Amino acid sequence: MSVPDACFNACLFLHAPASTGQSLAAEVWITPMINARTPSLLLLIAAIAITPRLHAEETPGADAAQQSVSYHTQIKPIFQAHCQGCHQPAKPLGDYIMTDFQSLLKGGESESAAIVAGDAKASYLLDQIMPVDGVAAMPKEKAPLSPEQIGLVKSWIEQGAIDDTPASAIAVYDAAHPPVYSRPPVTTAIDYSPDGKLLAAAGHHEVLIHHADGSGIVARLIGVSDRIESVKFSPDGTKLAVTGGAPARMGEVQVWDVATKKLLTSVQVTYDTVYGASWSPDGTKIAFGCADNTLRVIEAATGKEVLFQGSHGDWVLDTTFSIDGAHVVSVGRDQTAKLIEFETQRFVDNITSITPGALKGGLAAVETHPARNEILIGGADGVPRTYRM
Pick one of 139, 185, 247, 332: the residue that binds ligand HEC (CB under 6 A): 139
Contacts by residues 194-197 (CB-CB < 8 Å, ≥ 24 positions apart):
194/233, 194/235, 194/236, 194/237, 195/237
Shortest distance, CB of residue 224 to ligand HEC, whole angstroms? Answer: 12
Query: In 3-state terms, what secondary structure has residue 301?
Result: coil
Q: How many residues bind ligand HEC (CB under 6 A)?
A: 23
Q: Any contact of residue 92 with ligand HEC (CB under 6 A)?
A: no
- For ligand HEC, the closer of residues 89 and 107 by Cβ is 107
Angle between helices 23-37 and 5-15 (to 10 degrees): 130
Instruction: Compute the radius of gyration of the chain from its Cα atoms.
Output: 22
CA nearest to 278, candidates 246, 253, 261: 253
- For ligand HEC, the closer of residues 71 and 315 by Cβ is 71
Pick one of 128, 243, 322, 335: the residue that binds ligand HEC (CB under 6 A): 128
User: CB burial class (10 A; 0-12, 13-18, 19+) of residue 117?
Assistant: middle
- For ligand HEC, the closer of residues 143 and 383 by Cβ is 143
Shortest distance, CB of residue 199 to ligand HEC, whole angstroms? Answer: 31
Q: Write down the number of H helices and E strands in the chain.
A: 8, 20
Shortest distance, CB of residue 75 to ligand HEC, whole angstroms? Answer: 10
Q: Per-residue contact track with ligand HEC, 141 to 180, x per CB under 6 A?
A: -x--x-----------------------------------
Pick one of 21, 77, 92, 94: the residue that binds ligand HEC (CB under 6 A): 94
- For ligand HEC, the closer of residues 23 and 112 by Cβ is 112
- For ligand HEC, the closer of residues 114 and 253 by Cβ is 114
Q: What are phi and psi of 232, to 5 degrees?
A: -150, 125
Q: How many CA atoms lie within 13 A of 336 on its CB side?
A: 20
- For ligand HEC, the closer of residues 114 and 364 by Cβ is 114
- Tell me which DSSP letter residue 364 carries: E
Q: Any contact of residue 89 with ligand HEC (CB under 6 A)?
A: no
Q: Which residues in 195-215 are b (16+ Cβ under 10 Å) and which e?
A: eeebbbbbbbbbbbbbeeeee
Antiparallel, parallel or unpaired: β 305-309 and 374-379: unpaired
Closest residue to ligand HEC using C-beta atoms: 94
Pick one of 109, 236, 282, 349: the residue that binds ligand HEC (CB under 6 A): 109
Report the C-alpha gap between 212 and 214 in whole angstroms: 5
Q: Any contact of residue 122 with ligand HEC (CB under 6 A)?
A: no
- For ligand HEC, the closer of residues 115 and 316 by Cβ is 115
Number of neighbouring beta carbons within 10 Å of residue 146: 12
Q: Any contact of residue 87 with ligand HEC (CB under 6 A)?
A: yes
Q: Any contact of residue 112 with ligand HEC (CB under 6 A)?
A: yes
Question: Residues interacting with ligand HEC, by CB under 6 A?
Answer: 82-83, 85-87, 93-94, 96, 107-110, 112, 114, 124-125, 128-129, 138-140, 142, 145
